[in-house]
Chain A
Amino acid sequence: MKSNILPAIKLTFLCILFFVVAYTFVVWSIGQVVAPNNGKGETVSYINSKDNLKYGFVNIGQSFTHDNYFWSRPSAVGYNAAGSGGSNKGPTNTDYLKSVQQTLDTFLVHNPGIKKSQVPVDMITASGSGLDPDISPKAAMIQVARIAKVRNISEEKLIVLVNQHTENPLLGVFGPPKVNVLKLNIALDNLK
């Protein structure tokens, strides 16, 4: 043991220099060139509800609850990316099931004319990160009627918009289709 301690300390020090300091510097330098926005996270600009020009992160979902926007999914952290996490509610938790029912009822009240059987389960359950930037295409489509009414835009125009913003599976064959809610809502504001 004794004869191993000093070599172990020296080796540890060298490993930190090489696998932490040098490695991180190399990755960071490459990131300055290849990563979007120099590795600070890809952003997108918009005029927000207070008429200011602001920016948000494309990958970080935002809370949309107003009737004139496409809603995002429920979130356990309220879309505040200072933290992240899911509800961690078990499938048989009665309080949880009640809150899901409430979310469903609220959704139906705001979207008259939509039948329960049309509401996809992903629209009334919280994501794992609480920051899910996407909704499913189905979840976007069932909100079209509401938004068309509030914004006085034809439903056909909105359906085209949702279709334009539906991202297909990777290479067309891997994974689910999705709609980035932030990008969709920015495009929605720009329709006028």
Chain B
Amino acid sequence: MNSEIFGVIFMFMATVVLAIPFGKYIAKVYAGDKTILDPVFNPIEKFFFRVSGINGTKEMNWKQSMVALLTINLVWFLLAMLILLNQGWLPLNPDHNPSQTPDLAFNTAVSFLVNCNLQDYSGETGATYFSQLFCFMFLHFVSAATGMAAAAILFNAMRERTTDQLGNFYNYFIKSLTRILLPLSVVVAIIFMLNGMPMTFEGKDTIQTMQGDTVQVSRGPVAAMIPIKHLGTNGGGWFGANSAHPFENPNYLTNMVEMIAQFLIPLAMVFALGFYLKRKKLAWMIFGVMTTGFLCLVIPNMIMEQHGNPEIARMGIDMGSGAMEGKEIRFGTPASAYWSILTTVISTGSVNSMHDSFMPLSGMNQLLAMMVNAFYGGCGVGILNFYIFIIIAVFISGLMVGRTPEFLGKKIEAREMKIAVMVTLLSALLIKGGTALACYLFHRDPSLPWLNNTGFHGFTEMLYQFTSCNANNGSGFEGLGDNTPFWNISTAFVLILGRYLPIIGPIAIAGILANKKYIPESAGTLKTDTLTFGIMIFAVIIILTALSYFPALALGPIAEYFSM
């Protein structure tokens, strides 16, 4: 048992130790300083820009950046739809899987485009090798780079100066791909292949087991996709069981690498902010708030899962290994519980155990992690979400102490606050509105084949689905029968709104602030890199997110807990 706890502590420490120098590297990449991979990738980037007709050095204002971002995202969406609707006859389909239905293709294309990777299909039967590589893996790379480019624009806007020129979106986008995501993916892929992850274009194998049964074994070029699935906090896996599948996560070492990989960039982004702005104390304050929130969620989960299901304990068996339903022996309960919170605080949504079978309050913590969505948060977008909370906290504490609300030398006024509040309230509207609609439809026709569990847990399945979509997370209470037109279409709209407004909102605020007059710090300035301010942000997060969802949580996981 101790070895399992050690494993988790080691994973966390290792990520922090790696993230600090890596954050420094990311800051250098976005600042345009010389980095180690320049000789390899500079010529390739120049070629990319020349052929595409893009001037990578021309600075853009925040609106131009957002238009560029949305345009290229639209191109990817159309491409993804085209591939998914035609995958049946496209090449690289050794298992002869059919094309996706229009509503499923719509949901899948959107969910991979927005870095969510909700999967209403199952990888073994619902996608071809061509779709997995040219649609899913491609979007893994570029959707992660989109979020990172947005974060780079934010960094640029937070500097101490007055300007509307905030770097070039295409430049940040390509740099994120070539300098950060691609090199790491190759390294991680090699580790995976050494540990037995398949990388083959051969189709399903048919084998005879020792007992004489004939079964099939799905395979594929898995080892190319899984590194970027985690590094880009995408989470859309090759197989239906995601990283619980022994081919997608063969042993404890690969499990460690997958967890470190998904955690690395969100964490490094926080330190990168500190290095980029030369405000290390601010970065440590943000890290402190995020880590406190993360630990508040992950420690209870590990304890509850280790304790196991009391209903099963009553059968009088040996509960030593904890709540093992939906968990794998090679990971054990602590590493599965740790993963379940890590994948929900950052927006990965890959799973190495089935969240539907977690204890009720563990499920609640997974939900809370996604509702906040800023304790680390996704690749690039996490820091954008957190920025919104900073703005609100600055405004509220400014009013409380009677000082002008200023952040990094820029006055925060009504317009910025309106945007910040709208982005925050939007989540509550999408999650609770969506769940309410689903509940209404289910109430009207209880014969709908949606829920795998009845009662409170069934309600949580629906709440989880919308929460996961709004957070662009992609994990699920997978018992939910979600490949139906209602779920495919309703969640796709939540996905779109839950992705682009929380990117445009913070960038708009940052763009407006960057254009304002810079006011040097004085004795009257509210300090934002202190412990007090950290506590203030934490309180704002709790009030705005956790409390506004309390009624919904009370109907689902909390009610289930008390019914045990």
Contact = CB atoms under 8 A, between A and B. Distances in A.
A173 B8 CA distance: 11
7 contacts: A15-B142, A59-B196, A59-B247, A79-B215, A85-B122, A92-B564, A138-B318
Interface stretch (B183-191, B396-404, B416-424): B183-191
Contacts of B212: 48-50
A12 B76 contact: yes
Contacts of B76: 12
Nearest to B76: A12
Interface string A50-94: 101011111111111110010001000001111111111111110
A88 B326 contact: yes
Given A30-B189, A173-B6, 18 more contacts: A24-B137, A31-B223, A62-B209, A62-B210, A79-B215, A81-B215, A84-B245, A89-B356, A89-B453, A91-B560, A117-B316, A128-B244, A128-B354, A131-B241, A132-B328, A174-B10, A176-B321, A185-B210
A153 interface: no
A182 interface: yes
A83 B125 contact: yes
A92 B455 contact: yes
A120 B321 contact: yes
Interface in A87-132: 87-93, 96-97, 100-101, 104, 116-122, 124-132
B357 A41 contact: no
Given A30-B189, A129-B245, A175-B331, A100 B7 contact: no
A160 interface: no
Interface in B430-463: 452-457, 460
Contacts of B196: 35-36, 41-42, 58-59
A150 interface: no
Interface of A: 1, 4-12, 14-16, 18-20, 23-24, 26-28, 30-31, 34-36, 38-42, 46, 48-50, 52, 54-66, 69, 73, 79-93, 96-97, 100-101, 104, 116-122, 124-136, 138, 169-170, 172-178, 182, 185-186, 189
Interface residues of B, number: 121
A118 B202 CA distance: 43
Contacts of B331: 175-176
B221 interface: yes
B33 interface: no
Contacts of B141: 15, 19-20
Interface string B365-376: 000000000000
A84 B215 CA distance: 12
Enumerate the 8 nearest inter-chain pairs by beta-carbon distance, A residue then B residue, closest first: A128-B244, A88-B479, A90-B457, A31-B199, A39-B199, A86-B354, A175-B252, A176-B332
Nearest to A139: B329
Contacts of B308: 121
B550 interface: no
A169 B318 CA distance: 21
A9 B75 contact: yes
Contact of B7 (A16, A62, A104, A175): A175
Contacts of A15: 48, 138, 141-142, 177
B186 A23 contact: yes
B154 interface: no
B365 to A, nearest CB: 14
Interface in B330-361: 330-332, 335-336, 351-354, 356-360
B114 interface: no
A175 B244 CA distance: 15
B242 to A, nearest CB: 8
A84 B211 contact: no
B550 to A, nearest CB: 21
Contacts of A46: 210
Interface of B: 3-4, 6-7, 10, 44, 48, 51-54, 67-68, 70-72, 74-76, 79, 122, 124-125, 133-134, 137-138, 141-142, 170, 177, 182, 185-186, 189-190, 193-194, 196-202, 204-205, 207-213, 215-219, 221, 223-224, 239-241, 244-247, 250-253, 255-256, 308-309, 311-312, 315-332, 335-336, 351-354, 356-360, 452-457, 460, 477-479, 560, 563-564
B329 A169 contact: no
A82 B124 contact: yes
B421 to A, nearest CB: 28
A97 to B, nearest CB: 5
A105 B90 CA distance: 50
Contacts of B322: 121
A128 B200 CA distance: 24
Contact of B318 (A34, A93, A119): A119
Given A83-B124, A126-B326, A26 B478 contact: no
A93 B326 contact: no
A124 B320 CA distance: 13
Contacts of A90: 356-357, 452-453, 457, 460, 479, 560
Contacts of A8: 68, 71-72, 74-75
B354 A93 contact: no
Contacts of B477: 88
A72 to B, nearest CB: 10
Contacts of A118: 318
A129 B241 contact: yes
A57 B326 contact: no
Contacts of A50: 208, 212
A117 B318 CA distance: 5
Contacts of B202: 40
Given A31-B193, A86-B357, A175 B332 contact: yes
A89 B72 contact: no
A35 B327 CA distance: 26
A70 to B, nearest CB: 11
A48 B234 CA distance: 41
A23 B182 contact: yes
A165 to B, nearest CB: 13
Contacts of A128: 241, 244, 326-328, 336, 351-354
B329 A87 contact: no
A119 to B, nearest CB: 5
B53 A7 contact: yes
B277 to A, nearest CB: 29
A176 B330 contact: yes
A27 B244 contact: no
A126 to B, nearest CB: 6
A54 B217 CA distance: 14
A20 to B, nearest CB: 5
Contacts of A172: 3
Contacts of A62: 209-211, 213, 215
Contacts of A136: 321, 329
